[in-house]
Chains A and B, each alone.
Chain A
Amino acid sequence: MAAEVKAPPLRADPGAPQALVPGAMAELKPYVANDKMQQALGFPGELTDGWHERAIGRMGELLDKYRSLKVYMDACVHCGACADKCHYFIGTQDPLNMPVARQDLMRSVYRRYFTLPGRLFPKLVGARDLTKEVLDQWYSYYNQCSECRRCSVFCPYGIDTAEVTMAAKEIMDVAGLGQKYTNEILGKVHRIGNNLGLPGPALADTLEGLEEDVKEETGQDVRFPLDEKGAEVLLVTPSADFFAEPHVDSLIGYAKVFHAAGIRWTLSSHASEAGNFGLFIGNYDQLQKVALRIREAALDLGVKRIVVGECGHAWRVAYSYWNTLTGIGAGGEDPFARMLQQQLDSRYRQPTHICELTWDLIERGALTLDKDANDHRVVTFHDSCNVARASRMGDHPGGQFEIPRAIIRAVANKYVEMPRGTTREQTFCCGGGGGLLTDELLDLRVKGALPRMEALSQVASGHGVNFMATICAICKAQFTKVLPYYGFKMGMVGGVHQLVSTAIRLGPKQ
């Protein structure tokens, strides 16, 4: 497979309609989770007898539990507003990667089993039985959606394909057809505490090594504390930050910011993962179970603030769901939420994004920054989908766009925006989100990156951009892998706090 993967050519006119290539991606499927991975999450090990009843049964349950799914199944008029908005459709030209067609894989089954016209006149309204073939189609194409929500921006009813994809993954899990990459990782979080399976002692070693590296670079004793009770801040960050490139450079950036501001902080070996793949598979129990580790760590360590590192879907879960799932937030009136919320310092946003924290410090003049240190870089910013379309920073709508950009402008002299229609709420997914960051899907990932690569190529050739900053661990890993397919250096991608790390001056104020 790897030998065949090639980047599609950049389009001369991204506005022109594309030809359809039916079936282009039908055969691309991620590896199926084995029975051990499935059972560790409480799902059937494989597609055994009764999968059909389990699938339809769960679909009915989800329709009763989620207004989103219920309304989205009914409301679509097939207008086609979303059809050309998906990066995977743009990159593959497979019509089943059009958001509406992807939704219809489920909507056709919904109509057959849950609506009158679908029961009576299936052909007329495009209703289908849930056969093994249809399930296979689900497995292909619901694993070709990164749940980025770009389509939902353009839908006149706000229909969000991510909600449909999540429901489909939940239904397939319950049928016994799980996806290996996501479900194996969820097992690791439960067993070890993070997605990468890095145990506590190894984490302690890694952090010690980082302290030595930073000492060598700056001459300062910048600490990377682990499990320190009584710290003010618990930092929860994607585990890739601990050793993957370029992620680790942002972790160093966070540590320098805490050091410069004199904030006592700690990481937790129990909650050494901000990512929450429960989101990707749409399973409420998994989502909550993974998130509860952070509540437990916060209570155990007695921290006053919870800060989240650079990770897109983690920030969605933290910002939008933690208060619901774990009580991390404010305004809770039940004992479960109050127990934690009384401990947390209500003068701060709970949880806080690391960019909110850093920007507050910059605004107060608490950091010494040397912008010229980044002069070898011409920077652009890639909005990560979950931050852009499923969360916020600061007090005003759109703060999730302004705050990271404000930080970049404060730490670098040369900043260029990518073309309109490819940034902010209309940003294109990196092509690797939603639980698709796995090698057997590389072909899809390379093709899905096409619209972002087109935008990057414009500012790279037009303005000499050589650094694309982003605040998502998946974006960083995905771009590192796919940039070379488009003729860019993989080192072009990095974190916002990597730039902060370069510019920040430690030691006594000059």
Chain B
Amino acid sequence: MGAPMSIAFALLFYAAFLVLVLGTGYRIATYIRTPAPLKIPTTPAPTTRGGVALRLGREVLFFESLFKANLWLWAAGWLFHVGLALVLLRHLRYFTEPVWGWVAWLQPFGVYAGFAMAAGLAGLWMRRIFVARVRYISTPSDHLMLVLLLAIALTGLGMKYVAHTDIVGVKRFFLGLMYFDWQPLPADPVLYAHLVLVALLMLIFPISKLLHAPGVFFSPSRNQVDDPREHRHVAPWAAGLDPKV
């Protein structure tokens, strides 16, 4: 491939991918390893495992608890996350050849989703700036995280609507990374910016509040079955504390 910029991006994305997968995997492993010694589901809670799966499903897909908390926050948060999910799925076309049928079908929705994502992020940031109690709890990293995501969305939309980039070349570059058959990355400052920001997001994922994504599945107040009278629940470290009989 030759050009130093292409090499730099190739290395950046290998590194970002490894950090994302290994780092997040490590964090998830510590969540799995750490026991939950006491039954603490927030009740009313499901009494079966199937019920818990539904509860988590509603939480992850519809943000059920957030909906109860605050409608504006729910609307902005949900818009952003659904937008992001569709945008990510749309991007699968840069990593598959031939493009899967449903990914092709999804393309037009993915475009609108980009706007939804940016609008949701803007709403969340406005809230952080203008609602006194949210401003009070915001750290610099909370603002920067929104800036980062917003910049990713805007550079992405910029390449779609303002200054087209050579997406065929981009696809060739990423397929090359996947199959270790390295290809040059089109030289385009907006593309560079978009990719650097995405790599940064991948790099900080395992050491930031982005861990809320795996975290929600491991939250004992949400993922425990309400059955403490029927089953004796004892963590390994606690079992040794029972008096001998």
Contact = CB atoms under 8 A, between A and B. Distances in A.
B209 A74 contact: yes
Given A77-B212, A79-B66, A157-B215, A95 B138 contact: no
Nearest to A326: B242
A78 interface: yes
B188 interface: no
Contacts of A324: 37-39, 228, 232-234, 238
B100 interface: no
Interface string B125-158: 0010001111011111110100000000000000
Contact of A392 (B44, B65, B127, B231): B44
What interface size band does chain A fall in?
35 or more
Nearest to A69: B34
Interface in B204-245: 204, 207-209, 211-212, 215-216, 218-222, 226, 228-235, 237-239, 241-245
A104 B137 CA distance: 8
A321 B38 contact: yes
Q: Which of A116, A284, A321, A392 has the most CB of B within 10 A?
A: A392
A95 B135 CA distance: 11
Contact of A75 (B212, B229, B235, B238): B212
Interface stretch (A122-130, A358-366, A471-479): A122-130
Contact of A425 (B44, B222, B237, B242): B44
A149 B65 CA distance: 13
A85 B243 contact: no
Interface in B187-209: 204, 207-209
Contact of A320 (B40, B47, B209): B40
Contacts of B37: 65-66, 284, 324
B177 interface: no
Given A124-B141, A425-B43, A67 B31 contact: yes
Contact of B39 (A84, A95, A321, A334): A321
Contacts of A22: 136
B52 to A, nearest CB: 11
Interface in A124-159: 124-126, 149, 152-159
A14 interface: no
A155 B31 contact: no
Interface stretch (B69-77, B107-115, B162-170): B69-77
Contacts of B63: 156
Contacts of A17: 131-133
Contacts of B141: 117, 124-126
Interface string A434-464: 0000000000000000000000000000000
Contacts of B34: 63-67, 70
A125 B209 CA distance: 10
B241 A329 contact: no
A349 interface: yes
Contacts of B241: 284-285, 288
A323 interface: yes
A157 B141 CA distance: 20
B83 interface: no
Interface string B48-91: 00000000000100010110111001000100000000000000
A71 B232 contact: no
Nearest to B212: A75
A120 to B, nearest CB: 10
Nearest to A99: B137
Contacts of B232: 323-324, 327, 329-334, 337
B43 A389 contact: yes
Contacts of B245: 335-336, 339
A323 B233 contact: yes
A262 interface: no
A157 to B, nearest CB: 5
Q: Which of A20, A77, A100, A101 has the most CB of B within 10 A?
A: A77
A473 B124 CA distance: 42
A320 B40 CA distance: 7
A23 interface: no
A72 interface: yes
B38 A330 contact: no
A158 B65 contact: yes
A116 B244 CA distance: 42
A19 B127 CA distance: 15
A158 B229 contact: no
A350 interface: yes
B207 A117 contact: yes
B48 to A, nearest CB: 10
Contacts of B27: 74
B36 interface: yes
A68 B230 CA distance: 22
B212 A157 contact: yes
Given A76-B209, A125-B141, A391-B43, A71 B215 contact: yes
Contacts of B131: 17, 80
Contacts of A66: 34-37
B184 interface: no
A98 B66 contact: no
B42 interface: yes
Nearest to B228: A320
A351 interface: yes
B229 A323 contact: yes
Contact of B36 (A68, A116, A323): A68
B222 A157 contact: yes
B120 interface: no
11 contacts: A17-B133, A19-B132, A20-B132, A67-B31, A75-B212, A78-B137, A79-B124, A98-B137, A284-B241, A320-B228, A329-B232
Interface of A: 17, 19-20, 22, 63-68, 70-72, 74-85, 95, 98, 100-101, 104, 115-117, 123-126, 149, 152-160, 163, 284-285, 288, 292, 319-321, 323-324, 327, 329-337, 339, 349-351, 388-392, 396-398, 400-401, 425-426
Closest 3 CB pairs of A and B: A75-B215, A397-B44, A154-B69
Interface of B: 27, 30-31, 34-40, 42-47, 59, 63, 65-66, 68-70, 73, 77, 124, 127, 131-134, 136-142, 144, 204, 207-209, 211-212, 215-216, 218-222, 226, 228-235, 237-239, 241-245
